[in-house]
Chains A and B, each alone.
Chain A
């Protein structure tokens, strides 16, 4: 039988029962669409986190008080109990390190900011002049904190764009006096609006000198020290030097954790990569189920077309020809389902991107290809048994059926 005739014969057989064909195609399509959409979500999450981390500032090293076993990000690090304080002096000592370009100590807490009767709860960060560069933020109006003695600090504050809008509206914010906690500060700068920074949205941030923040929150220890290495290659050296200096200052005990942004990034990347893979695997199970459905439908088709198969044999069709016609039919149905699922899946991912523009929900190529291949393979695999059954039918008995 010629190939174009084979394909046309299979197509006619498939369209002979439209409802059955449509349901089969739909089941395969759902499987493929699930793979595409779910991997888009998983990979989108991975990309989102990696992008956000990248936007924190490159060559970043973070010092945390307290020791944790793993080098990567450990949520337990958020709550620390350390015998020794990480002090402003510790931070200043780190300036000696040759591999370090700049650094900024960090204290955080929540407080209330009030001006002209308006009151708002805000996140307050206490830091120093280089914070803005280390964190890759930009000033929209005015200036950042001045370069002054870290242990003192003048009563100046820099506010985020959203805070500015909410408290001052159309009026200028620079030069105004505000009350933060129980102190008065003068606004000297407004930050440029930026997206989400992990854990701290800079638009809703108020930044004051670190010493005053420590007084405000009644703490002697720093939350973090943010370090920017000289360049990418200097990151390991900067990490080693920071650990060395702090160890010496802390009686030879390394009771701090120094993590590089790379390590954190790598952990997240790996974590979410595995998540995406797992999700793809689960979606692939639905494709295996669709394959079983193909087998079921094809077996029913063989049973219903028994007389036809007997006729074909009487007309001179070889077992191979009959096997091929059913196999081609199963393949066509799986292919149609795969294509429909591909379109549906991409449409779904596009919808997610439309609803959540900051979430990069793009289905990765490897997942899409794997989904399509699995759909086709399972369709063909599960089409073999019915095809063989059809070819093995006894023509006399087959013709005896109506």
Chain B
């Protein structure tokens, strides 16, 4: 590797307190992901894959270890600084979409721009472009309860990409969709990846996992299998 990895985890640990007992969600994890990679994180439930995604997305802090994002140590950032990184570098796509029910599709897409304090005119331009890119122009004024599952996820993806992040984190993006719509959504995400955005998908669906160029298999908080390493030996 000539360029440094975009995402690098060194000895990362995450421990949860559940009553009296401790749960080791992540154990001494070492991992690196280069910019533009297409990675699937897989494993049984409780393996720590969602925790890993939350950590990479700066929604959670490790108890021990180091997390370097684009060469910068983000583990010791203040909550406000982390929020800024999330806003500018990271986009989330959730299984249950998490659209704000009282806002229209266009307003939902504009949300990250509003939070970042962008001027209204520039905002409108970007939102219009996003609506066009994802074929949502006719749906712009509709609320989430007036959209189909596929349309909702498209709005969510548009929202995740409107700030032009470096990394997209998708947690079971097709979990609430039927097969055909799921296909469509994955194709959209892969298109994004083709344009240079790092795509990390958490999934329990082996079919979905096999589409990505690299698979990370998690079990019991540790990385059992990394397909990239296998290929290199």
Contact = CB atoms under 8 A, between A and B. Distances in A.
A307 interface: yes
A316 B60 contact: no
A316 B98 contact: no
Interface string B59-76: 110000000000000000
Contacts of B112: 315-316
Nearest to A5: B114
A315 B102 contact: no
A399 interface: yes
Contacts of A75: none
Contact of B83 (A308, A313, A396, A399): A313
B102 A12 contact: yes
Given A13-B102, A315-B86, A1 B115 contact: yes
A320 interface: yes
B117 A2 contact: yes
Interface in A1-42: 1-2, 5, 9, 12-13, 16
Contacts of B207: none
Contacts of B208: none
A396 B80 contact: no
A314 interface: yes
Contacts of B114: 1-2, 5, 9
B117 A1 contact: yes
Interface residues of A, number: 25
Nearest to B89: A316
A396 B59 contact: yes
A311 B144 CA distance: 15
Contact of B80 (A5, A310, A311, A318): A318
A328 B103 CA distance: 18
30 contacts: A2-B114, A12-B102, A16-B102, A308-B100, A312-B115, A313-B59, A313-B86, A314-B92, A315-B86, A315-B92, A315-B111, A315-B112, A315-B115, A316-B84, A316-B85, A316-B86, A316-B116, A316-B163, A317-B83, A317-B115, A318-B83, A318-B84, A319-B79, A319-B80, A320-B80, A395-B60, A396-B60, A399-B59, A399-B98, A402-B96
Interface of B: 54, 57, 59-60, 79-80, 83-88, 92, 94, 96, 98, 100, 102-103, 111-112, 114-117, 119, 159, 163
Given A318-B83, A402-B96, 20 more contacts: A2-B119, A5-B114, A5-B117, A12-B103, A13-B102, A307-B98, A308-B98, A313-B59, A313-B83, A314-B59, A314-B98, A315-B112, A316-B87, A317-B83, A317-B115, A319-B80, A319-B83, A321-B115, A399-B94, A399-B98
